[in-house]
């Protein structure tokens, strides 16, 4: 389809009122360039298909490694909460109540569909908590060859007296993080009619999938917890140096 449209442009040149001013050799060269472009489009399309097949193969190889990583993360208190808060964009989406809920976040998973280009699912697994009934919340993005992206999300069954925890105090006191207007959990809401909000929701999904998920340790280490770990490592190095000095004596 794209190639046909491009060819029409060449034909338009051929049929334009400027024919008399265009050298026949120039027109022939333009047509040849069109053929070359069509060849490159075909090669690029084949390359994209092969890249998708390779990505699919390595997604299967990564899966057990990601599973192992999730099991290790479960032994680290507030790992995902810390990683989210330390992320320069995602951290701004968590208000104080969201942070309390995120303390129950047990694991995070991002999984491409078998046909990689057709979409992906982001899943949050929570421990039993006082906020909502279902402990597994998922959001799926499905990309169609024709038509808009379809998005489905787990309806959150909030417990009595609970609900989307919108921020109420917008003043920033000292170094304390200011509350945001909208809860992170509004990201799971369906039926948004605001195109700008849809764009924001899509960006959140992309940040989780392509930025946070591949290397959450980088964000976990980029904050207070990271400083604590670094101090512990430095302390261990100092102890090793002292032991070595004692041995030398």
109-123 pLDDT per residue, tens: 999 888 767 889 999
pLDDT in tens, 11-47: 555 555 555 567 888 889 999 999 999 999 999 989 9
Tokens at 236, concatenated: 């261990």
* pLDDT in the model for residue 209: 94
Per 3-state DSSP, the chain is made up of helix, strand and coil in percentages (nearest 5) of: 55, 10, 30
- Those residues of the chain that have pLDDT short of 50 are 1-8, 10, 167-180, 191-197, 225-233, 236, 249
Q: Which long-range contacts (CB under 8 A, 24 or more apart) does 63-72 make?
A: 63/111, 66/109, 70/107, 70/108, 70/109
Determine phi and psi for 133, rounding to 5 degrees: -75, -55
* pLDDT in the model for residue 16: 52
Beta-carbon contacts of 6 under 8 Å, excluding residues fewer than 6 positions away, are 34, 37, 38
Nearest to 91 by CA among 216, 232, 235, 4: 216
* pLDDT in the model for residue 74: 95
**Cβ(141)–Cβ(120) under 8 Å?**
yes
* pLDDT in the model for residue 226: 43
Q: For the CA atoms of 25, 30, 32, 33, what is the dihedral angle to 10 degrees?
A: 140
**Distance separating alpha carbons of residues 157 and 134, to the nearest angstrom:** 7
Residue 191's SS3 state is: coil
* pLDDT in the model for residue 170: 38
């Amino acid at each position: 389809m794209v190639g046909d449209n491009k060819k029409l442009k060449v034909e338009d040149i051929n049929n334009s009122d400027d024919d008399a001013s265009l050298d026949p050799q120039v027109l022939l060269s333009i047509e040849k360039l069109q053929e070359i472009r069509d060849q490159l489009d075909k090669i690029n399309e084949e390359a994209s298909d092969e890249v998708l097949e390779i990505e699919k193969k390595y997604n299967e190889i990564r899966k057990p490694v990601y599973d192992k990583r999730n099991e290790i993360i479960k032994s680290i208190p507030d790992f995902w909460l810390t990683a989210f808060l330390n992320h320069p964009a995602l951290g701004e989406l968590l208000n104080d109540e969201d942070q309390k809920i995120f303390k129950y976040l047990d694991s995070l998973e991002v999984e491409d569909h078998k046909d990689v280009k057709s979409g992906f699912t982001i899943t949050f697994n929570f421990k039993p908590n006082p906020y909502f009934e279902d402990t597994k919340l998922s959001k799926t993005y499905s990309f169609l060859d024709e038509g808009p992206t379809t998005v489905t999300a787990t309806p959150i069954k909030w417990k009595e007296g609970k609900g989307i925890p919108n921020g109420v105090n917008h003043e920033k006191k000292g170094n304390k993080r200011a509350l945001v207007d909208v809860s992170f959990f509004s990201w799971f809401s369906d039926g948004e009619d605001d195109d700008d909000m849809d764009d924001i929701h899509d960006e959140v999904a992309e940040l989780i999938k392509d930025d946070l998920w591949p290397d959450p340790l980088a964000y976990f280490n980029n904050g207070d917890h990271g400083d604590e770990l670094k101090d512990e490592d430095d302390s261990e190095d100092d102890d090793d140096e002292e032991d070595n000095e004692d041995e030398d004596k």
